[in-house]
């Protein structure tokens, strides 16, 4: 046992620290969606007893049956964790009072005006407050603008009458999910007080992740949102270059290849629009917060405008391809390949591909999609969509195949050979040697 004086912890903090160390701490993950389900499974994997809390009864029933509802969550590992009693789910928030650590993983949202929608976070905070007891660690792990932990969540928890940093502990913890992160899966952690930070650092250190601590939740929230915004802004820069190169008749992919070799720039590739839950929300969260300080993030907001424009550009370019072949978007038969945000991923939320499909259908095209990692999804209009098999005959019958995600497990040579025309928005066909006359790149 480590001496609690080392961390200046109260008796309650020392007991919680010891339970975290010996894996007897009980963990609650609130929100077992795209963020929370992998978190819950990871905690169970390393030996904690975990309960996932969610109001979606379908998710609760699926998890308790040991059935995954996301393709990128290992079905066998999930079933094993449930079978041995390490992981279960419930819709009863009273479970929170019996847990030592509560991780908040509810999804972020935006209003119609692109302002942060924290209604779900506030509701969860109020539910936690009703069950809050001494000796608990509460962590926020979802997208947050700088100040969310201390300005939104902390005042709600304070209604319990308990003292933060003495009787309970509050922290913000953000994981880098981008594959370019070094090291991958690293956490940036900060506490509402120094003692909160120490407890949170101990907890996340048990997962085997590299933990970086900063002085306050506001700094951690800003660092996380800046990382996402950095990628969005640089993506917008190369997307604007793609728009210009299209106007000038220059191959933007050759330009990017050239600039990233002798000039050594950090490579960002053109894309059909910024996608993913972080790219879709973080820059808007930061811009909204900046306005409270009479500050306009002009660079960031301009980047957002460029990225929002890209799905429209994809549809415009497809219209040109069809026109050259004596066809129009209206009544065109289009096969979209890839609706996930990233190569070999299954997360389609906020994907530019979903917007492209919507725009194509609005223009009168008939659209089907294939994605080996997204079997089905329901779009924002409530329309259910299911992935079709990658059928040579269907590709050949379509007026054009549009590649919006460059999955590595798709035979691109075959796709090009079978298609009448290909619009490649990801340069997935870079290695295809034959039939290149069919390919038009973004």
- 86 within some domain: yes
**Cα–Cα distance measured from residue 37 to residue 105, given in angstroms and rounded to the nearest whole number:** 9
**211 and 257 housed in the same domain:** no
Instruction: Looking at 74-148, list the stretches that DSSP marks H as alpha helix, in order from N- to C-terminal side.
Output: 75-83, 119-131, 148
Q: Residue 223 domain-assigned?
A: no
Cα dihedral sign, 189-195-198-202: negative
One domain, residues 254 and 344: yes
**82 occurs within a structural domain:** yes
Distance, in Å, from the CA atom of 188 to the CA atom of 156, rounded to the nearest integer, reads: 23
| One domain, residues 205 and 234 | no
Query: What is the C-alpha end-to-end distance of the chain, expressed in Å?
Result: 59
> In terms of domains, do 166 and 58 share one?
yes
Tell me the range of 86-90, 222-226, 295-299, 381-385 where mean pLDDT is highest.
86-90
Alpha helices in 249-294 (DSSP H): 252-260, 277-291
**175 lies in a domain?**
yes
pLDDT bracket for residue 391 (50, 70, 90): very high
For 294-332, give the DSSP string.
T---HHHHHHHHHHHHHHHHHHHHHHHHHHHTT--STT-
- pLDDT single digits (tens) 13-24: 899 999 999 999
Asked whether residue 207 falls in the same domain as residue 247, the answer is no
* Domain final residue, candidates 215, 241, 261: 215
Are residues 262 and 398 located together in one domain of the fold? yes
Sign, Cα dihedral of 157, 158, 160, 164 = positive
Lowest mean pLDDT among 1-5, 201-205, 217-221, 233-237: 1-5
- pLDDT interval class at 281 (50, 70, 90): confident
User: Does 26 reside within a domain?
Assistant: yes
In this structure, the strands spanning 187-191 and 168-175 are: antiparallel
Range of the domain at 188: 4-215
Long-range CB contacts for residues 249-253, cutoff 8 Å, separation at least 24: 251/441, 252/441, 252/442, 253/427, 253/430, 253/441, 253/442
Q: In terms of domains, do 194 and 298 share one?
A: no
pLDDT at 6 over 50: no
Is residue 260 in a domain? yes
pLDDT tens for 310-348 read 999 999 999 999 999 999 999 999 999 999 999 998 888
120, 107 Cβ separation under 8 angstroms: yes
Count of the separate structural domains present in the chain: 2
Residues 421 and 358 in one domain: yes
Q: Domain ends where: 215, 238, 253?
A: 215
- Enumerate the H helices of 85-153 as residue ranges: 119-131, 148
- Mapped onto helix, strand or coil, the DSSP state of residue 176 is coil
CB atoms within 10 A of CB 147: 15
Q: Give the residue from 215, 239, 254 where a domain finishes.
A: 215
Q: Do 192 and 271 lie in a common domain?
A: no
- pTM (two decimals): 0.86
> What CATH number corresponds to the domain at position 418?
3.40.50.720
Sign of torsion over alpha carbons 63, 88, 171, 194? negative
Tokens of 288: 């909204």
CA dist., res. 332 & res. 364, Å (int): 7
My answer on whether 207 and 324 are in the same domain is: no
Indicate whether 41 belongs to any domain. Answer: yes
> What confidence tier does 27 reach under pLDDT thresholds 50, 70, 90?
very high
- Within a domain: 221: no
Q: Would you place residue 175 in the very low, low, confident or very high pLDDT band (cuts 50, 70, 90)?
A: confident
Residues 112, 234, single domain; the answer is no
Distance of CA 100 to the CA centre of its chain: 27
Is 89 found in the same domain as 148?
yes
pLDDT at 2: 36
439-441 vs 422-424, strand pairing mode = parallel
């Amino acid at each position: 046992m480590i001496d609690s004086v080392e961390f200046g912890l109260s008796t309650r903090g020392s007991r919680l620290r010891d339970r975290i160390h010996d894996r007897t701490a009980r963990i609650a993950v609130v929100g077992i969606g795209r963020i929370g389900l992998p978190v819950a499974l990871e905690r169970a994997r390393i030996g904690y007893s975990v309960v996932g809390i969610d109001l979606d009864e379908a998710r609760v029933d699926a998890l308790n049956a040991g059935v995954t509802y996301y393709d990128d969550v290992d079905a066998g590992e999930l079933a094993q964790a449930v079978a041995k009693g390490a992981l279960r789910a419930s819709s009863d928030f009273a479970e929170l009072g019996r847990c030592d650590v509560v991780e908040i993983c509810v999804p972020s949202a935006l209003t119609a005006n692109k302002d942060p929608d924290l209604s779900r976070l506030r509701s969860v905070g109020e539910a936690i407050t009703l069950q809050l007891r001494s000796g608990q660690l509460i962590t926020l792990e979802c997208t947050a603008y700088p100040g969310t932990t201390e300005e939104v969540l902390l005042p709600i928890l304070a209604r319990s009458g308990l003292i933060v940093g003495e009787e309970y502990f509050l922290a913000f913890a953000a994981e880098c999910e981008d594959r370019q992160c070094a090291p991958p899966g690293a956490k940036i952690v900060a506490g509402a007080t120094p003692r909160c930070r120490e407890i949170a650092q101990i907890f996340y250190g048990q997962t085997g992740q590299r933990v970086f601590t900063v002085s306050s939740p506001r700094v951690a929230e800003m660092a996380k949102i800046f990382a996402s915004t950095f990628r969005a802004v640089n993506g917008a820069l190369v997307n604007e270059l793609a728009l210009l190169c299209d106007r000038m008749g220059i191959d933007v992919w050759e330009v990017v290849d050239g600039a990233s070799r002798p000039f050594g720039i950090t490579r960002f590739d053109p894309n059909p629009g910024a996608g993913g839950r972080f790219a879709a929300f973080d820059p808007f969260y930061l811009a909204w917060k900046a306005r409270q300080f009479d500050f306009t993030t002009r660079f960031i907001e301009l980047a957002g405008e460029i990225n929002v424009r890209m799905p429209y550009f994809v549809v415009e370019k497809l219209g040109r391809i069809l026109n050259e072949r004596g066809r129009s978007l209206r009544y065109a038969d289009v096969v979209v390949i890839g609706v996930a945000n990233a190569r070999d991923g299954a997360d389609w939320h906020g994907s530019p591909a979903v917007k492209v499909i919507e725009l194509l259908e609005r223009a009168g095209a008939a659209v089907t999609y294939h994605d080996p990692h997204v079997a089905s999804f329901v779009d924002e209009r409530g329309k259910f969509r299911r992935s079709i098999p990658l059928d040579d005959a269907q590709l050949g019958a379509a007026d054009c195949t549009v590649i919006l995600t460059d999955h590595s497990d798709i035979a691109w040579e075959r796709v090009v050979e079978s298609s009448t025309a290909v619009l490649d928005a990801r340069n997935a066909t870079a290695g295809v040697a034959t039939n290149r006359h069919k390919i038009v790149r973004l």
